[in-house]
Amino acid sequence: MMIPLAATSYLTAAVAFLALAVVTLLRWRNRPTGLWVALAALLSVGWAGYLGFLSWQYGTSAAISGGVMEVARNAGWFAVLLALLGGVGSRPGVDPRALRWWAGAVAVFLLVMLVPLWWPGLLGDVWPGLATLLMAIAGLVLVEQAYRNTPPQNRWEIKFLCLGLGGLFAFDLFLFADLVLFQATDSPSWQARGFVNALVVPLLAVAMGRRLPQREGPTVSRHLLFHTASLIGAGLYLLAVGGAGYYLRHHGGELGALLQVTLLFGAALLLAIVLFSGSVRAQLRVWLAKHFFNYRYDYRQEWLRFTGTLAQTDQQTPFRQRAILAIAELVESPGGLLWVRRDDGCFVLDGVLNLGEPQHPPLDPDDSLIAFLLQSGWVIDIDEFRRDPDFYHGLDLPGWLIDNPRHWAVVPLLKSDGLEGFVVLAQPRARHRIDWEERDLLKTAGRQLAVYVALVQTDEALLEARQFETFHRLAAFLVHDLKNVSAQLSLISANAERHRDNPEFVADAFRTVGNARDRLERTLAQLRKAQPGTDSPRQAVALDELLHEVASDSRQARPEPRVVVESPARVLGNHDALRNVLLHLVRNSQEATPDNGDITLTLKTQDQWAIIGIEDTGAGMDEEFVRRRLFKPFQTTKGNAGMGIGLYEARDLVVRMGGRIEVSSRTGEGTTFTLRLPRYDP
C-alpha cells in the first residue's frame, strides 16, 4: 500500500522534530530556552504524527484541522518565544510586569482557542481554520517582539530561531487565510505543509548551537554539597559495615563475635583515614564540580581564601611560604617553589613549601624559561611538556624542573613592567590535566601574587634604607667622638713643648693617649667596612695585576692567598673600589679558614665576561644564611666583630659595574665567591 504524499510530508516533519528534541536534550539542554525547545519539538512530533495519520487514513482534507494538537503545537512554540522575552526581561531597564502581561494574554488566548474545539457545534465548521489563522498571527507578533526587544549585540544568537518560527507562522497565515477566505482545500500547499515544517528544523538547530550555555549554576553551596556528599557516603559505608557485622555475628559460628569486633574496628579506622585524606577530599571536590556545577570553582570563596592567606601575619609561616600556599590551595597542590627576580636581573629560588630543601642555581634573564614566560604569559603544564615539548614552541626547561616527577606546573608572576618571578607547583592531591579554567585562574592569581611579591620586596628595601639611616645617625655620633679625640691630642701636642719636663703632664699625656687609642679602636671596630667609591671616575683595570696586588696586601695574615691566572682580562671601573672589594672578600676568607687551609684567587674569561673566583677551605656557611641573609646589610656571621656592611656594598659595586656576584658554600667544606664582570676590550 502506497503512503499518500501528505502523510509522507507530515511523517517527515515528525522525524525532523524528533531529531531536534533528542539533540536538544542530549547536547543543548543547558542552553537558555533549551528545555522549552525540546518540549515544543516533542509537541510538534505529536502534531505531525497525528496529522500524518489522518492524511493516511482519511485523506488530505481530514488533516486540514489538527484540533487540540494544533493548539498544543502552537502553545509549545509560544512558550519558547515567551522564554526568550523572559531572558530579555532579566536585563536592567525591562519592566517584568509587561512580560507577565504577555504571558497572561497568551494563556487566555490559547484557552479561548480551545473552548470551541471541545464543543464543535458552537461556531460551526469555520472556527478551526479561523483559530489556526489567529494563532499564526499571534505567533508572528511574538516573534517580532522577541527579536525587537533583544539587544542588537545578542540578536546573532536568536536570528535563525526567529527566522524559522517566523517562516513557520507566516506559512500557516497564508495557508489558513486561503482556507478561511476561499475554502481552498485542494491546494498543493496542504500536502507541502509537513515538508515546510521539516525545513524549519535546521534553522532551529543552528540557533540552539549558537546560544551560549546558561551561566547560572545551582544555588546550593559548594561547601554544603561537599559535606552532604561526605556524610551520605560515610553513612552508606557504615550501613554496609553494619550489615556485614550483623552477618558475621549470626553466621560466623564461634568466631562470629570476634570477627564482628575486628571488622568494626578496621572499618572505623579505614573511614578515619579516608576522611582525613587530602587526596580523597580533592577527588571528591573535582567529582562534584564536574557533575553538579557549570564551573569547577566558587570564585568568590577561592578569592577570599587566596587574599586571606596572603594577608596573614603568622610569624611561623613566612611570606614566601604563604605566597606558595595561597596559589597552591587553588588547585589542591601541597606545595611548590617561589622564584623571584633580584635587582641584577637574575631569578633565584626564594621560597620552598613541602618540596624538601633544593639548591637550584639562579636563572639568567636570557634563560629560555624566563623568556618564554615573559613573552607568552602561559601557565606551563610540565606533564604536557614531557609528553609533547613541541607544543611549547622551542621552550627548553631546566633539567631540575623536568627530572623531578613532583613538579606539575609553572605559573608566571607578571606585572605591567615585566616578570616578577614564577611559582613551580607540586603535583595536586588529585592528579589531573590542567584545563582552561585552571589556567585562567592560575594566571589571574599569578598577577595578583606578583603585586604582593613586589610590595614585600619594596618593604624590605625600605627597611634597609631605614637601617642605613639609623647607621648614618650612629656614624654622626662616632664622628663627634673622633673630633673629641682629635681635640685632646691637639691639646697635648700644643702643650708638649712647654711641659715636657713635667712628670705629671707626661703621665697625664700617656693616660690621654691611651684613652684616645681605646676610643679609636672601638670606633674602628664599629665602622670597619669597605668604601667602594662608586662615584669615582671609571678606568681600565687589569685584573691579573689587581689580583697579585690584593694577594700581596693580604700576606700579613694566614693563610696566604695564591693567584691562578688562566687568561688575563681588563674591566672598566674604579681601581681602588674594586681592590677594596677583593681585599674584603679575601679578609673574610682568611678569618673563616684555619692557618693550614687554602685560599685561591682565580681569573678566567668566558664569552663577554671576566670571571674572578675566591675559593677557600674554611668553615663555610649554611644554605639558609646564604640565600636569605648573606647580601643583606647588617647581617654577619662574626657576631659583634662585624657590621655586615662589606658584602652588601661589594655586591652593590659589582651590580653597578654591570656584573653580578655569586656564592657557593657548604658548612665545613668552604666557600667560593664568583664575580662576573663585563670585559673591557677597547
Considering only CA atoms, give the Rg of the chain. Answer: 43
pLDDT tens per residue, range 358-413: 888 889 888 999 999 988 888 999 988 888 888 888 788 998 988 898 999 999 99
Residues 6 or more apart from 349 whose CB is under 8 A from it? 337, 338, 339, 358, 359, 360, 362, 627
Pairing relation of β-strands 599-606 and 562-565? Answer: parallel
Is the model more confident about 5 or about 369? 369
For residue 423, the model assigns a pLDDT of 93
For residue 358, cis peptide bond before it (omega within 30 degrees of 0): no
DSSP string over 544-563: HHHHHHHHHHTTTSSSPPEE
pLDDT tens per residue, range 189-233: 777 888 888 998 998 888 888 765 554 444 455 555 555 666 666
d(CA 197, CA 44): 9
pLDDT tens per residue, range 582-629: 888 888 888 888 888 899 999 999 888 999 999 999 888 887 777 777
Residues 6 or more apart from 51 whose CB is under 8 A from it? 10, 63, 66, 69, 194
The 8-class DSSP code of residue 363 comes to B
pLDDT tens per residue, range 231-274: 666 667 666 766 676 666 666 666 666 666 676 677 777 767 76
pTM: 0.44
For residue 646, the model assigns a pLDDT of 65
Is the model more confident about 522 or about 394? 394
d(CA 653, CA 160): 71
For residue 462, the model assigns a pLDDT of 76
Return the C-alpha torsion angle 218, 224, 226, 230, nearest 10: -130
The 8-class DSSP code of residue 629 comes to T
Residues 6 or more apart from 661 whose CB is under 8 A from it? 631, 650, 651, 654, 655, 673, 674, 675, 676
Is it the case that residue 639 has pLDDT exceeding 70?
no
Residues 6 or more apart from 603 whose CB is under 8 A from it? 543, 544, 547, 563, 564, 565, 566, 567, 568, 569, 610, 611, 612, 613
CB 143 within 8 A of CB 81: yes
